[in-house]
Structure 1
Amino acid sequence: MDKFGYGLLGTFVIGAVVGASVGLLFAPQKGEDTRKWIGDKLNDLEGEVEAMGRKLKTQESKAEETLNKKIQDLEKQLGDLLKKSKTAESK
């Protein structure tokens, strides 16, 4: 994450807003055409944000699976160590 705390998604959204604003200032179009263009861009942006959300959810699921597996491995190792410790104490 960058030093301002925006992250990738925040930076993307800010860039999209700035780009759209500059485009509106320099595009000599009728108001109806401009509104259609804005609507199209918002629909595109919505699709991209949804795709990013799905990707993040997938990554979250993979990370959760990995973490659960590591926890299970550590629990097994701890159980093995406890058994060895009890066996060593009884000798």
Structure 2
Amino acid sequence: MKKSNETGAIIGSLLIGALAGAVAALLLAPQSGKETRNILMDELDHLKDEFDSYANDFSDKAQKIKADLQKKIKRTEAELSDIAHEYGI
């Protein structure tokens, strides 16, 4: 699980960095306020889409891990039950 947490932190950092860079670039750019706001909104929409994509990927991976763990638990329960029967427990 540590690797997943590190991956999430890296992705979050990249998104925050991208947003900060975009905002800084736009605030220093020579264009009208309305143009800047439109560009900011477009960039925010793009970042939201990226975040949603990462969130969906994370959710899919979490579901796969959950399913794998459930299979392993059932397999372990069956093995323990067999061992218990062998020893008459």
Report the TM-score when normalising by structure 1. 0.81
Pair member with larger Rg: 1
Q: What's the % identity of the aligned pairs?
A: 31
Matched, 1:18 2:20: yes
Q: Partner of 1:71 in structure 2?
A: 73
Q: Which has the higher contact order (CA 8 A, sep 6+)?
A: 2
Q: Secondary structure at the match of 1:28?
A: coil
Unaligned segments of structure 2, at least 5 residues: 1-5
Among 47, 50, 54, the residue aligned to 2:49: 47
Q: How many residues align?
A: 84
Q: Does the aligned pair in 1 maintain the 2:23–2:40 contact within 8 Å?
A: no
- Kept after mapping to 1: 8 A contact 2:19/2:47: no
Query: Stretches of 4+ moved more than 2 A in 1?
Result: none
